[in-house]
Amino acid sequence: MGFALNTECGQFHPQLIELAKAAEKAASQEYSNYHELSARNHQKVLGAFRTLGVTDFHLHGSTGYGYGDLGRDLLDRLFAKVLGAERALVRTHIVSGTHAISLCLFGVLRPGDELIFATGKPYDTLNKVIGDGPAEGYPGSLMEWGITCREVELLPDGSPDLAETVKAISSRTRMVAIQRSRGYQWRPTLSSGAIGEIIARVKKTRADIVCFVDNCYGELVEAQEPTECGADLMAGSLIKNPGGGIAPAGGYIAGKAALVEQVAQRLTAPGLGAELGATLDTNRLLYQGLYFAPLVVQQALMGAVFAGHFFSSLGFEVSPQAGEKRSDIIQAIKLGTRERLIAFCQGIQQGSPVDSHALPEPAGVPGYGRPVIMAAGTFIQGSSIELSADGPLEEPFIAYLQGGISAEYVKLAVLHAAQRMFDQGLLNPMLRII
């Protein structure tokens, strides 16, 4: 694959283009892994559409109560099949990944129960769900309902501490939660296999503990999903991987049928469960999004691989490193200073199709307890399967880059980011060859 930058060359420093070409060359060997993965996942998805007999009728939605919405019901079965789960619940009524995760916690846990996070501090937006705030717990949080939470710290190398997790289990432990992706942490993402190992250890200690996985950013990045490796329940966002950049909003839950049923009762109301919920005109977009997802995830992975090589060649530490196995679509880049992080995110925004003239600034965002900067020049607000970059304004100022409907667009945006840093004198000492 060539690096077709000729028409755009004028806007980038020639040295940056040279480095981009070299990065592209180095990355192309890794791309082949993702061609293979993508081919497998295309087969998996098409197979599910064919086996379940998706018809034109299913693509149309319902209004009002949404009784008898066969398109909605078949979409649940389609997701379950692709994710290797007994049952799934796929809804635009789930407002975000955080909501999907929160539904799983409140759907399963009861007063007096304990939840253990086996992967250290959970993602920022879960702090208030758990209860962070006043002593009696943030209003409506698990803590306020008398559900306690323990976090088992990761080992120094960022891997989960299995021995401590097992030790933390008590008679009150009802659920062990595992976060697959890195969140805002400099740690490796957990593969489905590694998640399976944690689950096996937990189940050996007490088979009735519910093992839950926050699968955000992990869908279709490997041939197997956590639900195929022992997870009882799993959640994710439709404006990340499985929405394929097409789903306009929503989230999903997948796992054991009885647990998904409990979550459905929590999503709507006891007695209503999954049988209500008008889909309006969204069914087609959710079907189409899943259909596109294997391709879009592949493009995002290729973009991430390129960005890793490119920023590594500029002298920055990156994670994953070249050649490292990936289990999510995130490329983390340690930028070292506040100015660089801001310039990077602003450059990504400038290299985006929507709001390219807006300059993101660090700010408070609901659910995030610390200032963050977020670039998302996306067609769907905040969609991070579309190209986006963000990070907390904290040492060591790491940018988390993810998504991109097409790897070529990722490359251009990454060049814009580097160019902006260069223009502000934030890159110069590192551009060795200039």
Which residue in the set 34, 41, 90, 97 belongs to the binding site for ligand PLP (CB under 6 A)? 97
Burial class (CB in 10 A: 0-12, 13-18, 19+), 206: middle
Which residue in the set 38, 92, 102, 125 belongs to the binding site for ligand PLP (CB under 6 A)? 125
Q: Which is nearer to ligand PLP, 179 or 319 (CB)?
A: 179
Which residue in the set 38, 41, 62, 98 belongs to the binding site for ligand PLP (CB under 6 A)? 98
Q: Which is nearer to ligand PLP, 71 or 131 (CB)?
A: 131
> Which uninterrupted H or E stretch holds 375?
strand 372-375
Residues 358-387 as x/- pattern, contact with ligand PLP by CB under 6 A: ------------------------------
* Min CB(403)–ligand PLP separation in Å: 11
Which residue in the set 92, 148, 237, 388 belongs to the binding site for ligand PLP (CB under 6 A)? 237
Residue 76 touching ligand PLP (CB under 6 A): no
User: What is the DSSP-derived secondary structure letter of residue 152?
Assistant: P
Q: Which is nearer to ligand PLP, 69 or 214 (CB)?
A: 214
Range in contact with ligand PLP (rule: CB under 6 A) among 69-77, 82-90, 91-99, 225-233 = 91-99
Which residue in the set 96, 165, 327, 349 belongs to the binding site for ligand PLP (CB under 6 A)? 96
Q: Which is nearer to ligand PLP, 128 or 416 (CB)?
A: 128
- Comparing C-alpha atoms, which of 114, 180, 183, 184 is closest to residue 150? 114
Residue 289 CA to residue 219 CA, distance in Å, equals 13
Residue 208 CA to residue 216 CA, distance in Å, equals 25
What beta strand segments (E) does 41-179 contain? 87-91, 114-117, 148-151, 173-179
Whether omega before 320 lies within 30 degrees of 0, making that bond cis, reads: yes
Half-sphere exposure of 135 (CA within 13 A, CB side): 0
Q: Kindly determine how many residues on this chain lie close enough to bind ligand PLP according to the rule CB under 6 A.
A: 12
Distance between first and last Cα of the chain: 26
Residue 92 touching ligand PLP (CB under 6 A): no
Residue 179 touching ligand PLP (CB under 6 A): yes
Q: Which is nearer to ligand PLP, 71 or 251 (CB)?
A: 251
Which residue in the set 117, 123, 252, 409 belongs to the binding site for ligand PLP (CB under 6 A)? 123
Q: Which is nearer to ligand PLP, 276 or 410 (CB)?
A: 410
Tell me how far CA of residue 30 lies from CA of 39, 77, 180, 182, 303, in angstroms: 15, 33, 22, 21, 11
Do 254 and 227 touch, CB atoms closer than 8 A? yes
Q: Which is nearer to ligand PLP, 218 or 308 (CB)?
A: 218
Q: Which is nearer to ligand PLP, 98 or 165 (CB)?
A: 98
Sequence-distant (≥ 6) Cβ neighbours of residue 163 within 8 angstroms: none
Residue 295 touching ligand PLP (CB under 6 A): no
Which residue in the set 41, 102, 141, 181 belongs to the binding site for ligand PLP (CB under 6 A)? 181
Residue 299 CA to residue 24 CA, distance in Å, equals 14
Residue 14 CA to residue 394 CA, distance in Å, equals 32
- Comparing C-alpha atoms, which of 426, 404, 422, 424 is closest to residue 413? 404
Range in contact with ligand PLP (rule: CB under 6 A) among 22-30, 154-162, 209-217, 262-270 = 209-217
Which 217-236 positions form the footprint of ligand PLP (CB under 6 A)? Answer: 217
By CB under 6 A, name the binding residues for ligand PLP.
96-98, 123, 125, 179, 181, 183, 214, 216-217, 237
